[in-house]
Amino acid sequence: MDHRDVSFSSRVDAGRQLADRLAAMGLENPLVFALPRGGVPVAVEIARRLEAPLDLILVRKIGAPGYPELAMGAIVEGNDSQVVINEDVRRMSGAELSYFERACADERSELERRRKCYIGERPRLAPSGRTVIVVDDGLATGATIKAALSALKRNRAGRIVVALPVAPTRVLEDLGGQADDIVCLHPASAFRGVGGFYRDFHQLSDEETVSLLRDCWAEQEPETAAPDVPISGSRRG
């Protein structure tokens, strides 16, 4: 389906449509993990509909030199932050490993800033043995969500469900072996960017993200949580 044939009015609209699809799956006692910032308004609607606890997975894309939207890889929060490298993209971009390492250091700083801003001292949810729904507002290369899925596997999530409004079919195929279920409302063979599927795709600010999270958390009962999401190790892929 061409992206010009369909659109969501907003991320909230996409979240509600995804929530309907997920509710029909009868998932038992799920946790919802959003990739901020864009995944937060989508995930909030899912958490509300499923009456499921909400947390974040903080992931940052490592952009290619001169092409920041082209992901050479991604890095996930944690004491020993996990890195996923897309070697094909890195080599094509001409980036040396030293450049990649410097970019990782910059993104680690941004991950820590976001953790303090969005989460603060709030206890983190423990995915071990649970059904986990990973939510974003869409995918382009899939680098960030691959890093998130790898981290959840290391943290022994019981069942991993990826929930997306839109993504390229080739990326969804590549994710097939990394999640138990993939729910994508609009798999797109002709793909020209996530924003083309939304009428309102404004850049979320930190303030808007924090407000959405606080409102959702205020509605929820406290969940037994881990003090942190211990993510460690690295891999190439």
Tell whether 137 is covered by a domain.
Answer: yes
Residue 83 host element (H or E): strand 82-85
Q: What is the CATH number of the domain that holds 142?
A: 3.40.50.2020
- Per-residue pLDDT band at 227 (split at 50, 70, 90): very low
Tell whether 124 is covered by a domain.
Answer: yes
The answer to whether 143 and 41 have CB atoms below 8 angstroms apart is: no
- Per-residue pLDDT band at 203 (split at 50, 70, 90): very high
Tell whether 176 is covered by a domain.
Answer: yes
Choose the weakest-confidence range: 15-29, 35-49, 75-89.
Answer: 75-89
How many of the other CB atoms lie within 10 Å of CB of 196?
Answer: 17
Residue with tokens 């890093």: 147
Number of domains in the chain: 1
pLDDT of 174 strictly over 60: yes
Report how far apart, in Å, the C-alpha atoms of 91 and of each of 130, 193, 208, 224 are: 37, 23, 37, 44
Sheet with 30-34, edge to edge strand ranges: 54-56, 30-34, 131-135, 159-168, 181-188
Instruction: Give me the chain's average pLDDT, please.
Output: 87
Tell whether 28 is covered by a domain.
Answer: yes
pLDDT of residue 5: 54
Three-state secondary structure call for residue 161: strand
pLDDT tens sequence across 72-86 = 888 998 766 678 777
Report how far apart, in Å, the C-alpha atoms of 23 and of each of 86, 149, 230 are: 34, 21, 29
pLDDT of 236 strictly over 80: no
Q: Which domain holds residue 213?
A: 3-217
Tell whether 101 is covered by a domain.
Answer: yes
Cα-based angle 48, 203, 5 (whole degrees, multiple of 5): 80
Tell whether 32 is covered by a domain.
Answer: yes
pLDDT tens sequence across 132-145 = 999 999 998 888 89
pTM for the model: 0.86
pLDDT of 43 strictly over 80: yes
pLDDT of 202 strictly over 90: yes
What letter would DSSP give residue 202? P
State the sign of the Cα–Cα–Cα–Cα dihedral 111, 200, 2, 64: negative
Percent of the chain with pLDDT over 70: 89
pLDDT tens sequence across 206-217 = 999 999 999 999
Question: How far apart are alpha carbons 160 and 134 in whole angstroms?
Answer: 7
Tell whether 117 is covered by a domain.
Answer: yes
- Average pLDDT (189-202) is 90
Tell whether 235 is covered by a domain.
Answer: no
pLDDT tens sequence across 100-133 = 888 888 998 999 999 999 999 999 999 999 999 9
Tell me whether residue 181 is exposed, middle or buried, using C-beta atoms within 10 angstroms of its C-beta: 0 to 12, 13 to 18, 19 or more: middle
pLDDT of residue 225: 45
